[in-house]
Structure 1
């Protein structure tokens, strides 16, 4: 579809959830999401290897909107956290929305922002419906020196059937629970209704539109109303395949998290937590159904590209852990990515290439006939939508984790078989995903895999150069990657193509 004409430019509907594992939209997952699995993936395309560039909210969302890795867009960690590194994006960084607005699109932003603490969506071309809640659609600000000590919120008292993780000197943490009310009381249902009205309103105009819907309630704690709270029987929920991983061959911080926090939960509670999590996923699927119905009501379903994705995943019991952060596992990094675009994308198709959130910004610019983003680390997915994969499409995935409250530094590179993890704070990890898909056995110190490790490290350095990463400091106490960046050049010189 080279050279999309103005009248052929599609509307674009984006639904981004939080903390959602890619597995939840796999056909064999018991989590029921018929609108996403049947009405989007079944009528469109499911990416089997869709990844977030980083498993943290603000930097992941910034990568989605800019097409850049955190090292270049500047949002290293969550801007509302107390040790924030940068409160906003680096000067000059552009979002795809700015270019689409110039190209004549109408823009509407509903739900969570979390891209910059200095500027909101309106500063980047988006319109914000008046019905939004004050928390939605704008910057939250960011902590500054002298204002970081704050009171902690105590757990809510109105929950039924919940599980508590006790913490000395910290507020106890409720991991899941049933709250009172009806589905319409949930914030994501309210956002869905606003978005449905925006679809109907903007579809009456002659210009194409793009609507972003940021849903948040899959995020921990997994608290939801009936009927979703009891939709899944915990006795029917299996424990994750790697739940019994002792973590002895992995960095100590993983074991500390599990022993200090999550080992307090019984196996029955782990199953209940997963059941609640799936209930929230099904609830969000009902919101998606509301939006798909609105497209049909407005008569624009045939000329609307629909994307369903998430900012990152959640361990949800995988390896006996919960939440996200310095956890390089597939549960945290592989995310849902399904796209429907009638008459362009073949129905019920799948793609096994590596795709990241960075790839959507250049895609939207191309199909909208907008000016390309420059710089941009992503690639337009339009050829894949049309059924062909460019020969030079990336053969690996690169994950860039620049820290949370304790500034852990972690990098991930994986190909179709192996995954290597560089941990600056502890020893590294290497997994054979073909033999060990649940990442149970760390091969980083197995001499038989030294060549594999070195090859992946060289690939990591190529990605680091492409993304202008910050890990090139050669000072001895920080230059801890087993093979430095010069090894790439030496090997290529010794083995010229």
Structure 2
């Protein structure tokens, strides 16, 4: 629920922003392209040895990309609500995929877009508190399982297939490229874009893939054979090091997918093929916008909501913990006014920073209650406080005590196992119970839980986080530094809503920075 009523009148008026007629005429278009469950490092720009994302790689190296961009929580609804509201899950109250009706926020992205005179469209997956048909001028909803009841006969056929298939289809998909959802989504997005004339527009292209159900058509199915993929850096042998939540997820996967260890190489191959299919559709979208003259006045951001194990720890999909494979996300900014940097930005940024950045692009004030910060100064080559982006925090868990391996409830009784092959949900009472907080700073990463148990990793030397250095006297100074950083973040993220009703002035930096030069 929105909380505008809490604002005092002077603050509410200030939060609306003052957009002049001249600024309105020169506002750039904004295109947000979001995938679902795309791991950040499966790309050439980060050293992946296969051409999985060649177009976005080239776009990134000609514009700006972050190699330390993070989700707010490695779960779809919490992350996407953070994107739209600019608030962390502890503030939105959406800490699971089942708490969307509990969303708590002030003015959000759709409100700012409307106030700034933007025409708006969303094509693809929603999974937020937004009612797409109410807040966007044009919207078409796509889910992971398609739609077997609406759309063209071809779309209904694909929807029937997606709904009836198990969680993964290990053969080439019987549906060609033109019937795949990413292609259909880009087609509808382009149809809408080509009709825009006078007002600036915002387009949200939300692709449900490469999230399961895992399936991909030729030629993508055969592009990256299992034997061509680089070896994994961890396996089921490391589960004891990672703890009970990882072990419970492994047990669930083995229950739902008895052959999962045998199938992981093929599933990795399909995942890579899905990424290449998506990359080709992003190329199609942006190149057609270039051909129609829209590129030069448009800002593009390409990102994901969270990552994927991709076989790491002998696991698939997502669920347990806050490893880099799940928390770090791709983030590329391109287009109008972006100052190119061939090397990645090493600043730590978050999905919550996207809304404040859009506000800067539109010339609007950042709404009260937003916890993210504007990236626009750094994207446009201006000075910004490096200390502000020296670290980043990620949240996980819905609270309570941790579920253990010895709970009396079964996977099927809990609801995370449907009884069908590959029909499981890695986000469940075992993996999501309790509370985790993660902070990344430099090459180091600290994780703490509600019982005071800690993890400390050197990501440069241990990228899959197997060697826990927490409590190691050799690294006591680093541990203390990150504990202080995490405590500082915890204080910064205390929800400012509602702001005081009377007299007190609520002081903020225009970019929502806490540190300045």
Alignment of 1:111-190 (within 5 A): 111-116=124-129, 119-123=130-134, 125-129=135-139, 132-133=140-141, 174=168, 176-190=170-184
Equivalent-residue separation in structure 1 for 2:474 and 2:307 (angstroms): 32
* 1:434 and 2:460 aligned: yes
State which drifts further: 434-443 or 16-25: 434-443
* 1:455 and 2:469 aligned: no
Deviations along 1:244-287, whole A, 9 cap, x unmatched?
A: 65232322221232355369547663221111000000111111
Aligned to 2:75: 56
Question: Is residue 56–residue 312 contact of structure 1 (8 Å, CA) maintained in 2?
Answer: yes
**Tell me, what secondary structure is at the counterpart of 1:261?**
helix
Aligned to 1:15: 33
Residue among 92, 105, 112 paired with 1:73: 92
| Cα separation, partners in 2 of 1:297 and 1:401, compared to 1, 3 Å | same
Deviations along 1:33-61, whole A, 9 cap, x unmatched?
A: 222111x2133111111111110000101
Larger fraction in helix: 2
Count of aligned pairs between the two proteins: 426
| Cα separation, partners in 2 of 1:347 and 1:426, compared to 1, 3 Å | closer
Equivalent-residue separation in structure 2 for 1:352 and 1:234 (angstroms): 32
Task: Return the TM-score normalized by structure 2.
Answer: 0.76
Question: Is residue 44–residue 339 contact of structure 1 (8 Å, CA) maintained in 2?
Answer: yes
Aligned to 2:435: 409
Equivalent-residue separation in structure 1 for 2:275 and 2:187 (angstroms): 17
What is the root-mean-square deviation of aligned Cα atoms in Å? 2.8
Gaps of 5+ in 1: 137-153, 160-171, 470-497
1:437 shift after superposition: 2.3
Deviations along 1:73-124, whole A, 9 cap, x unmatched?
A: 2212103xxxx4x52411x5322221121111111111111112xx41344x
Question: Is residue 142–residue 208 contact of structure 2 (8 Å, CA) maintained in 1?
Answer: no
Gaps of 5+ in 2: 1-19, 145-159, 399-426, 496-517
* 1:192 and 2:186 aligned: yes
Alignment of 1:326-337 (within 5 A): 326-337=320-331
**Tell me, what secondary structure is at the counterpart of 1:223?**
coil
Residue among 25, 30, 34 paired with 2:54: 34
Alignment of 1:200-279 (within 5 A): 200-202=194-196, 205-243=197-235, 246-259=238-251, 261=253, 264-265=258-259, 269-279=263-273
* 1:400 and 2:395 aligned: yes
Task: Return the TM-score normalized by structure 1.
Answer: 0.79
**Tell me, what secondary structure is at the counterpart of 1:339?**
strand
1:389 shift after superposition: 5.0
